[in-house]
Structure 1
Amino acid sequence: MEVRIDRRIAKTKAAIFQSFVSLIAEKNFEHITINEIADRANINRGTVYFHYSDKYDLLNKCIEENLNQMIAVTTATDRNGETIDLIESSFLPVMRYFEENHHFYFSMLSNKGVPAFRDRMLELTTTHINIHINMDGVNLNYNKELITQFMASAFVGIVEWWILNHMPLSADDVAQQLWGVLKRNQVIN
């Protein structure tokens, strides 16, 4: 049985997230208050507390939702219900996701009050790579953890550079060049 989410709840949560992200873009996370989030979302503070225990809970849920969306764009399901990892052939889907959500990622990566964001992004990327990395062929004689850490750090570093520099290259160019550099250095097959 499919669980249906009340549209009003979804709309309220979206307003809270949008309000929160806009405040993060303006000021340090530590200086943001629940009252400011509620005022900007045009709701009362009790509604924020109904959905989130505090601003740290809101931050964690916001990060979790966006990073899960990042992972979701890297996979698809075939006719047989099998999961296909789109990263095996291109970084383009995830780079386009970052491009579409530039405001959120720029706000999180540039806000000094949210150092955990980059760490969580790196952790999630590392886990995803660790699951999907092919250790055959050119990777056979290398340590899996070393290659995984290298790829995750390189990927997150490039994404961070690209976003914080207001995307000086197109998503297509970044995806193609990052893929090419990793392939040229035999990190990927």
Structure 2
Amino acid sequence: MSFTSPPSPAAAQDQDRRVRRTKARLRQALTQLLREKDLRSITVRELTDRADVNRGTFYAHYKDIYDMLEQYENQLFDSLGDLLSGYTPQQLQGDLSPVLEKVFLFVEDNRDLIPILLTGQAKDPFFQRLYAVIREKCAGDWRGAYSVGEEDPSSAYALEFVVCGTVGLVQSWMRNGLQPPASEMAVFTGRLIQQGLTSL
């Protein structure tokens, strides 16, 4: 009886690099096509032809195009959640700009995909997930950092204003070509959020 030897560490690394390159080509092709047409109009053949990847390779990683996009969205939100959870209320007291700068830089690093996902309407799943992440942070750690309570009936409206305003600023920043720099946007946005939170 013969046994197949496991791949060497070097061979495994080469395979991982090939997978990353393949997925990068598919992601680039998908973002290009999403700029040209609606997701429902994109076929797997069209995507793989654009990426110069065979269909079998595509199906080795994804069930369909919707699954592919969902995986990218999940990766984005996992990374964003890790970024936001890295700050305690104590670290945020008096200045939200450090964490906000990382958020804007995160958007900048993913500028191939996030702008496309955020061009939809407020009812769209990506917008709703982004809204929920920011709202949870504002209602939890950020509000706790500024010792504001929940007994005021107007607090829900003020919180809604802060969350929608933050998402709107990110959208406007992307439409303006990611200008001004992330550091300046972080200071400006942080000032607005602080004013909103202290009004709760």
- Residue of structure 1 equivalent to 2:188: 177
Report the CA distance shift for 1:131/1:34 in structure 2 as closer, same or farther (over 3 A).
farther
The aligned counterpart of 1:115 is 124
Runs of 4+ in structure 1 deviating by more than 4 angstroms, as ranges, are 83-87, 143-148
Give 1:161 deviation, angstroms.
Answer: 1.8
Pairwise CA RMSD of aligned residues? Answer: 3.1
Match of 2:20 among 10, 32, 35: 10
Q: CA deviation at 1:148?
A: 4.7
Q: What is the distance in 2 between the residues matched to 1:84 and 1:183?
A: 16
- Match of 1:166, SS state, is coil
- What is the number of residues matched between the two proteins? 179
Match of 1:28 in 2: 38
Aligned match of 2:9: none
The answer for the alignment partner of 1:167 in structure 2 is 178
Contact map agreement 1:125 1:152 (CA 8 A) in 2: yes
Q: Quote the Cα distance in structure 1 between the aligned partners of 2:156 and 2:167.
A: 16
User: Secondary structure in 1 aligned to 2:167?
Assistant: helix
Unaligned regions of 5+ residues in structure 1, if any? Answer: 77-82
- CA deviations 1:152-179 (Å, max 9, x no partner) are 2222121112112323422122111111
CA pair 150-171 structure 1, distance change in 2 beyond 3 A: same
- TM-score normalized with structure 1 length: 0.76
Amino acid aligned to 1:155: T
Give the direction of change, closer, same or farther, for the CA distance of 1:185–1:145 in structure 2 (3 Å limit): closer
Query: Which residue is 1:95 aligned to?
Result: 104
Structure 1 residues 116 and 172, CA, compared in 2 at 3 Å: closer, same or farther?
A: same
Identity %: 23
